[in-house]
């Protein structure tokens, strides 16, 4: 929801610029948009908090970038009798991509483009939890969780775009992805100030995937 509100504010702020631009150039050079697929199926193959920005070079070729930054601060004190808990931590996420695209077909209001982009994604989950059982004598548990993920690769994509007006369009995108993924999970737990368990795992792998619907982007051109 925060991303949607920010997007609306951006549209309002650039509306005047769009009007000035169209007086001298019938083809808008800039596009900004959001992936609305997470609103339909609660998933994102990029990052649902990201914004897509495109710039046209010449008459047809476009440069594109998708940028997303999100920070979730965890700080609460839930109570689950017969325990009292304190939880704090943070969960940052960052996504960035850069690519180029060209048209395959342009007929009236329907345009089909293909392209390729390179991307990087970072996700971290760092949480501390302290629990105390309200017994006699009370027992205390402390746990640390450090879970992080890196992913980088390339997307070869194709999308069809329908123009509702001169400024608004909707495009449906599919991609083939080749990526390297690094995952690391580590946890440590103490019970009554004594080490109870400690361990983790690391996964490194290359992967490929094909998504027939990788994003549904609502775009504004100016």
Q: Where are the domains of the chain?
A: 2-221
C-alpha–C-alpha distance, residues 79 and 86, integer Å = 8
C-alpha–C-alpha distance, residues 55 and 30, integer Å = 5
pTM of structure: 0.80
The pairs formed by 49-53 with CB atoms below 8 angstroms and a separation of 24 or more are 49/2, 49/3, 49/93, 50/3, 50/95, 51/3, 51/6, 51/7, 51/10, 52/217, 52/219
C-alpha–C-alpha distance, residues 11 and 31, integer Å = 10
Helix (H, G, I), strand (E, B) or coil at 5: helix
* Confidence (pLDDT) at 116: 98
The set of residues, in sequence order, having a beta carbon less than 8 Å from that of 198 and lying 6+ positions away, is 187, 188, 189
Q: Which residue has the tokens 């400024």?
A: 167
* Confidence (pLDDT) at 83: 64
List average pLDDT for each run of 10 residues in the chain, which is 222 residues long: 50 46 64 95 89 92 96 75 75 96 94 98 91 74 92 98 96 98 95 89 97 97 94
The DSSP element (H or E) to which 72 belongs, if any, is: strand 61-76
* Confidence (pLDDT) at 18: 44
* Confidence (pLDDT) at 3: 53
* Confidence (pLDDT) at 2: 53
Q: Which of 59, 61, 63 is nearest to 25 (CA)?
A: 59
Helix (H, G, I), strand (E, B) or coil at 26: coil
* Confidence (pLDDT) at 1: 53
Helix (H, G, I), strand (E, B) or coil at 14: helix
Residue 86: CB atoms within 10 A of its CB come to 15
- The token duo for 186 is 């580590």
Q: Are 26 and 56 spatial neighbours (Cβ–Cβ below 8 Å)?
A: no
The DSSP element (H or E) to which 11 belongs, if any, is: helix 2-22
Helix (H, G, I), strand (E, B) or coil at 196: strand
Listed in sequence order, the DSSP H helices in 23-60 are 37-41
């Amino acid at each position: 929801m925060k991303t949607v509100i920010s997007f609306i504010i951006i549209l309002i702020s650039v509306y005047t610029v769009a009007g000035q631009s169209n007086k001298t150039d019938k083809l808008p050079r800039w596009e900004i948009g959001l992936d609305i697929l997470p609103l339909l199926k609660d998933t994102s193959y990029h990052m649902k908090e990201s914004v897509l920005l495109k710039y046209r070079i010449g008459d047809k070729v476009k440069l594109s970038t998708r940028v997303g930054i999100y920070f979730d601060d965890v700080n609460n004190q839930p109570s689950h009798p017969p325990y009292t808990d304190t939880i704090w931590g943070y969960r940052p996420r960052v996504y960035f991509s850069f690519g180029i695209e060209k048209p395959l077909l342009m007929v009236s209001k329907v345009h089909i483009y293909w392209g390729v982009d390179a991307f990087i994604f970072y996700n971290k989950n760092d949480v501390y939890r302290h629990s105390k059982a309200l017994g006699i004598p009370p027992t205390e548990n402390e746990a640390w969780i450090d879970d992080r993920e890196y992913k980088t690769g390339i997307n070869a994509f194709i999308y069809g775009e329908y123009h509702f007006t001169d400024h608004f369009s909707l495009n449906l995108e599919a991609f083939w992805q080749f990526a390297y993924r690094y995952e690391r999970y580590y946890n440590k737990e103490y019970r009554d100030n004594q080490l109870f368990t400690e361990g983790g795992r690391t996964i490194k792998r290359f992967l490929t995937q094909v998504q027939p619907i990788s994003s549904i982007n609502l775009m504004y051109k100016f």
